[in-house]
Structure 1
Amino acid sequence: MSNFNEDSNEEALYLKKALDFITEELNKETQNINSFKNNLITSNKEMWQQTSHSSEDFGKAAEMNQYLSEINNKSHIFEKSNKKISAYKKMLSCPYFGRIDFSEDGFDETEKIYIGMHNLLNETTDDILVYDWRSPVASMFYEGELGINQYKSPMGMVSGTISLKRQYKIKDSKLIYYFDSSVQIKDSILQEILCKNSSDKMKNIVQTIQKDQDAIIRDTENELLIVQGCAGSGKTSIALHRIAFLLYTGMSSNLSSNNFIIISPNSIFSKYISGVLPELGEENVNQITYGELFSKYLYDSFKIEKRSEELEKLILSKNSLKLTNINFKGSEIFVEILNRLMDYHSKKLIQFTDVYYDNKVIYSKDEIKNMFLNNKIGIAPARRLKRIENMILSKIHPIRKERLKKIENIVKNSYGHEFEIKSFSRLLSIKETKAFLKDIYKFTKIDYLELYKLLFFNSKLFKKLSKGLPLPSNIDEIIEYTKENLSKKFFTYEDSTPLMYLNLKLNGINNFSQIAHVVVDEAQDYYPFQFEIFKLLFPSARYTILGDFNQAMENKKDETIYEDIEKILHKNRSIKLFLNKSYRSSIEINVFAQNFLGKKNTSINFFERHEDNPEVIEVSNESSAYNSIVSDIEKFRQDGFNSIAIICKTNKEAKKAYNSLRSLSKVQLIDDDDLEIGNEALIIPSYMAKGLEFDAVIVLNSTASNYNNDFNKRLIYIACTRALHRLKVYNLRSAEL
């Protein structure tokens, strides 16, 4: 008992010490930032008053640059101080959450290492009161056991002994409780956090990171890290913490948030995860959906199908053409066909001609063709043609100049009006140049869309280029379907990737040269061709790939999808890791959801958290279902569950449910990627709910006829695994909603 009292007194004193230091530093930084703010305003005024505002006053340029440099330096200090203030304010509530006592080999002293969200350093004494959770020594808190241990420091491996691991519950600057643990984060802390309600933003998990999760977060050895994780295993959250860790370790190499990009499944998901990095003290990184890439690289005169529209059509389609088209256009077989098309275009389809000017051959067609095909350093075709165009123009320039001078002399001798002579020669020059360029452009310009059209509008060419490759049995239907869409100026979602590929390959475009690390979420929903796009856009980047083949949409997949990714991205060092423990849903919800996967997946483990069993409710008509759902929403709110989703199979069903429920309860329809999620109960199609989680989920119309194949069963599996605490499933007996 006395030891406990001593420990409690010691912990109370240390907490006070940390809080006093934070308060002191916070006051200091607040005063500093006010002073910086005033200085910044003064510097701006001085620059405006003391420097010239004339664009022609070049003598003042040096003075202006000096002021700008000073303002930039002060702005940097201001931002740094602001960041410190934000961190101190967060730490006031909870300065740390863990501690390890560590004795390094060769030293008698045992160091008490407190671990929190941020470093807390006394710069006067060099004492570290709290270590950032991302620091090397903190890895032992997540991964180490009591006894002999080691961690990787910047100077090499450090070995020693952990004699204590302790976890704290500190809230509003008060120590609620603490306990000692042996191997990993104790279930009691995890239970408490997992029992909390969901919110409209994903939260950080620094207090509960598990050993297998920490290994993913801290991996710096591999250029390609692939994570297969079951629903609720924390894949996305781990990826965000991984970004925060890499930003922390990359400070010395000037790695910044601009060097990262997340490929998100949709904009709703992007908004949902937007709070994690700021919570961890880092700036948000670039985020883009795959569909947003189309607007960067495809003609805007065509209507481009969204991913949600593609899935809606696929679910509602009564024939297999759409699915076959998607599978074929997303395959490596189609990549090969397009590669053959580009090669054939370069060697056979570009109509090089002799280039004449002033009745002289500037370049023969054979010379031009040889220049084009001589491509030892791999320059994109359009750039090679542009270089040839410039070579031609530079060669005719002196000839053109000499010829114009002769024309001016002839006209001057005949008419004697110099102004008219120049005007005449200039007009002649423009006219001749336009005509000349028109002939040149016939073989120096490439239109990726016209080339794609040629493949489908010329059946002989298609068959020639696809010779020896396995094609779908309904390839003729696919060709006709593609021709019809292109004729209507409509890009299907599955056509947009190959079109983008042609544009990138032919023109050598790269707008993402600063990206050093790419995170691809929901990887199971991407086809091999889409990873070819990533390879083109981010050729030098490292990758973190997250997926779950149990949540694949239109195609049932397995672990082989990751083999395709490894083969395409082709990195020197890669690793596949598996997260088989689900933390999101209760045991009861998880077991219920597993039934929709058919054969029970014994590799998935569930965190031991028990709640109410899911309810399956049979209703005879739509009116009964809607009235019951209104009652459910009210009951959920009374029980403290504010995050509620009504998940329908399709957008069509979601709209119908919304039109019926909006007069009965506060609901919001999510049928567009750009919508902000509010506080109302959400009505959302199953395929747009991926990655999200809710306190309570109502699955509407889960009858056998509505989920009658593997694709549809995976949709209901996705819907059910969105629920943390409560799940209700409505079956309509009489008719489909």
Structure 2
Amino acid sequence: MDNNFQSAYQEEKERLAGTLREIDSVLERLRGIPVYTGHDYTEQVLEDAREQRRKDLAKLKPQPYFGRLDFQENGEEEPKALYIGKIGVDSEQVSDRPLVIDWRAPVASLFYSFTGGLDAAAYEAPEGLVEGLVYLKRNVVIRQEILERVADTFNRDSDAPAVSDEFLVYRLGENKDNKLRDIVSTIQEEQDKIIRAAKNTALIIQGVAGSGKTTVALHRLAFLLYQYKEQVTAEKMIIFAPNRMFLDYISDVLPELGVGNIAQSTFPDWAAGVLEVELPEQDTQQTLNAWFETEGGMPEITDETPGRFKGSTALMGVIEDAVKGLEAEAVPPGDFSPWDGALLRRSMILKWHNEEYRPYPPAKRKERVMARLHRWIEMELKKSPSLAALKDRKKKAAAREKQYAAKWPKYEPLTIYKQMFGAVKAPEGIAEAASAVIPKAVQKETAAALKKGQIREEDLPPLLYIHYLLNGGEGTLRFDHIVIDEAQDFSPFQIAVLDLYVKGHSFTILGDLSQGIHAYKGVHAWEEMQALFAPEHTAYHALTRSYRSTMEIIDFANVILAEGVHSPLLAVPVFRSGNPVRVLSFAEAAPAGAEETRLAAVRGALAELSGDGREYRTVAVLTRTLREAEALHAGLADQYAGLNLIDGRMTEYRGGLSVLPVYLSKGLEFDAVILADADKGHYGEAAWDAKLLYVGCTRALHELWLLHSGNLPSYVRPPSGEERL
């Protein structure tokens, strides 16, 4: 340990001790103040502030801060040491600076954007640009109040070279558990720009595997709540993720950042709630079989593939015409007579519908007209000459009012949707207009499914749009911000509909086209989404640096990306080296023994992976199909207690050793990954097959093994020749 490091370590140790003493002192004082339970509003506000400070200090204490920045603002006599943590806390002993600065504060942006050099640095503050000199940038690791590590990434007064990646590599080398963690201590400059981007923007982020897209989006939510605290609330934000297990996987990040009450959902679950329908539970293997487990590979995808067509905005015009057509013919023909001798002219009903209630959407307009008609009946009933006449008129009026209401269009999204596709009889004009736009194959397949009562995920955006046109946004939460993860699997129609439910086009849309394995429903280019917004309301960022995997894994996966997927956007690795990727062949087997041979190969690989002092917390065995995952799980379960089978129905990722099909691994990451069947029989030469294999390879943080029975795809290049098990 050199003298400079020893001095820095001792300095930080003393500073930490002082910080902890101050936290303890303030906590003791705050806890000594009796909790106010009265009804005085001012005292309630003061008590809420005290309670929040108690919680913040208690949360801060185990790890008060993670970074230090010595910054001398222009006009100041000397630099000030600014300590940056997850929560900002004012000092009661030092008046000119906080005890800890919140990582989201403007000055803290310097900690992320400053990468060295002797030139002046600057940050944007509410009062304008603040310029000055950075003298020191230091990372510190504190766990449970103990200082574990000090690393200077810049020191103006030292001749020692900067080690900007040293701390990052140290943190990336840590093993995974079963939850995604925050990256607040290692946010990089390009990530920080996205996190701090303006609120009212549809931000589209293309990021290679391991670039931190999901984590960046979650940190962006925390930043928006800090920066725009008067304009946004956590209760009016939502995260859309690909499945419920992934939601569980990311569930700890926001609480770690001190943020709660942000809704997290899948799009189908949220849409079903808005539409007040129950989606039929479909078996995972049945649902995905047509695309991921079909013999001979993926069916051909065109713009007339049902998922692609129904996800395009072409259907929006058909829906608008259908709703307008129903609205124009909504008022039934003829006058209304509740009983003989009483008459309400159709011209008056039309006046109510077309003029007085015109600002209302169709379903609400119908409700208003029928309520007005009911009040007119009540007024007319008061003119009855006798009780007997009143009783007779009431009975007739009730029956005729019900008959009249039945003549109006059924403003039900599912009914209109069925009419468009010919699943039920449609009013004149609707079926003809729909058939002019909807391809016959799509119309036929959708009608058949709807007649069986099947509502598919691809049907939800059109149904939501019909619901919105009929009812407006009434009764539905309008969000301040929406995060969409794995957005390459979303359709333009989904985004267009969600834009109706968010203020100011405020989106964070993130994904990776190279991982677009759901190409039958998702986008093939980000321009499909950018086209939905005016240029001033959208921005695009590309994250090419991968922080997840070792250089060896990223270099191996980049070959698949370049030669198999044919993507020009390759991952740039952080300088973190590890074991070489291993490509191992096992003995050819007759069909009857193929599964047993593969099982033996996986057993051997797992045995070798657990040797040499490796202590991996999360290991995944990835197969091409769910059937093969089930077979492997059954074969390994007797040897590995607690072995998980991930089949798409799980709502919680438990860590440890897991077996799952490759297409369900997207979004997750593991210390070590074994691809159990990386041969050409499972992954063909099509770009889609290469994407699947690329997804599997890029789940690995530290170790990647590919097993095969011979005949590798052309885009799989063993780094040092093939090995045999």
TM-score (norm 2): 0.85
Q: Who is 2:29 aligned against?
A: 28
Q: How does 1:717-736 map to 2 (within 5 A)?
A: 717-732=694-709
Bigger shift: residues 518-527 or 606-615: 606-615
Indicate if the aligned counterparts of 2:549 and 2:702 stay in contact, CA closer than 8 A.
yes
Of 362, 366, 369, 1:381 maps to: 362
How far does residue 660 in structure 1 lie from its aligned partner after superposition?
Answer: 2.8
CA contact (8 A) 2:30 2:50 kept: no
Q: Give the secondary-structure state (helix, strand or coil) at the position aligned to 1:443.
A: coil
After superposition, the Cα gap between the structure-2 partners of 1:665 and 1:7, relative to the gap in structure 1 and judged at 3 Å, is closer
Give the superposed CA RMSD. 3.3
Of 567, 587, 608, the match for 2:575: 608
- Change over 3 Å in CA distance of 1:244–1:348 after alignment to 2: same
Distance 1:716 1:377 in 2: 55
**Cross-structure match for 1:121:** 90
| Corresponding residue for residue 216 of structure 1 | 194
Deviations 1:350-404 (A, max 9, x none): 644422233357544455446444599753211111111122112221102222x
Q: Distance in 2 between matches of 1:368 and 1:466?
A: 30
Q: Is contact 2:284–2:647 with CA below 8 Å preserved after alignment?
A: no
- How many residues in Structure 1 have an aligned counterpart in Structure 2? 682
Q: 1:515 aligns with which of 470, 476, 479?
A: 479
2:668 to 687, 692, 701: 692
Counterpart residue number, 1:233: 211
1:124-273 alignment runs, 5 A limit: 125-126=94-95, 127-144=97-114, 145-146=116-117, 147-182=119-154, 186-220=164-198, 222-251=200-229, 253=230, 255-273=232-250
Which amino acid counterpart does residue 584 of structure 2 have in structure 1? I
Q: Deviations over 1:441-498 (max 9, x none)?
A: 32164222222222222699577315775x6xxx333222222111111112222332
Deviations 1:563-610 (Å, cap 9, x if unpaired)? Answer: 332332448432111111111111221222233332363543111222
Query: Could you tell me which residue of structure 2 aligns to residue 504 of structure 1?
Result: 468
The alpha carbon displacement at 1:533 in A equals 1.9
Number of the residue aligned with 2:387? 408
Task: Measure the CA separation in 1 of the matches of 2:512 and 2:84.
Answer: 32
Q: CA deviation at 1:643?
A: 0.5
1:338 aligns with 2:319: yes
Paired residue for 2:401?
A: 436
The answer as to 2:578 corresponding to 1:578 is no
Contact 1:304–1:493, Cα closer than 8 Å, also in 2:
no
Name the CA distance, whole Å, in 2 between partners of 1:706 and 1:3.
56
**How far off is 1:299 after superposition?**
6.0
State the distance in 2 between where 1:494 and 1:275 align. Answer: 30
1:280 corresponding residue in structure 2: 257
Aligned to 1:60: none
Read off the aligned partner of 1:25 and give its amino acid letter.
Answer: V
Distance 1:558 1:362, change over 3 A: closer
1:649 aligns with 2:624: yes
The alignment partner of 1:716 has SS state of: helix
Distance 1:514 1:300, change over 3 A: closer
Q: Is the 8 A contact 1:352 1:368 kept in 2?
A: no
Q: Equivalents in 1 of 2:569, 2:651: separation in Å?
A: 38
Q: Which residue of 1 aligns with 2:433?
A: 465
Distance 1:342 1:101, change over 3 A: same
Correspondence list, 1:37-56, <5 A: none
Say if 2:48 is the partner of 1:76. Answer: yes
Q: C-alpha deviations, 1:536-572, integer Å up to 9, x for none?
A: 2225451111111111123299997433323324484
- What whole-Å deviation, never above 9, does each CA across 1:395-418 have from its counterpart, x for those lacking one? 221102222xx24166xxxxxxxx
1:450 has 2:415 as partner = yes
Q: Which runs of 5+ in 2 are unaligned?
A: 156-161, 712-725
Partners of 1:5 and 1:299 in 2: CA distance = 64
Instruction: Report the CA distance shift for 1:168/1:409 in structure 2 as closer, same or farther (over 3 A).
Output: closer
How many Å separate the matches in 2 of 1:172 and 1:9? 18
For residues 141 and 299 of structure 1, what CA distance do their matches in structure 2 show? 47
Structure 1 gaps, min length 5: 44-65, 411-424
SS in 1 for 2:61: helix
What per-residue deviation string (whole Å, max 9, x for no partner) do you get for residues 161-180 of structure 1?
Answer: 22222222444444444343
The one-letter amino acid paired with 2:405 is I
Paired residues of 1:556 and 1:711 also in contact (CA < 8 A):
no
| Matched residue, 1:63 | none
- 2:519 corresponds to: 555
Q: Is the 8 A contact 2:272 2:279 kept in 1?
A: no
Shift, 1:646, TM fit = 1.9
Deviations 1:83-111 (A, max 9, x none): 224323333xxx33222222211222321
Q: Sort the Cα spacing of 1:370 and 1:727 in 2 relative to 1 into closer, same or farther, 3 A.
A: farther
Name the CA shift for 1:235/1:377 in 2 (closer, same or farther; >3 Å): farther
Q: Which amino acid aligns with 2:125?
A: S
Taking the aligned partners of 2:664 and 2:51, their CA distance within structure 1 comes to 37
Counterpart amino acid of 1:677? Answer: Y
Q: CA deviation at 1:651?
A: 2.9
Return the alpha-carbon distance in structure 2 between the equivalents of residues 288 and 174 of structure 1. Answer: 37
2:335 match? 354
Are 1:678 and 2:654 counterparts?
yes
Contact 1:26 1:88 in 2 (8 A): no
Q: Give the structure 1 partner of residue 441 of structure 2.
A: 477
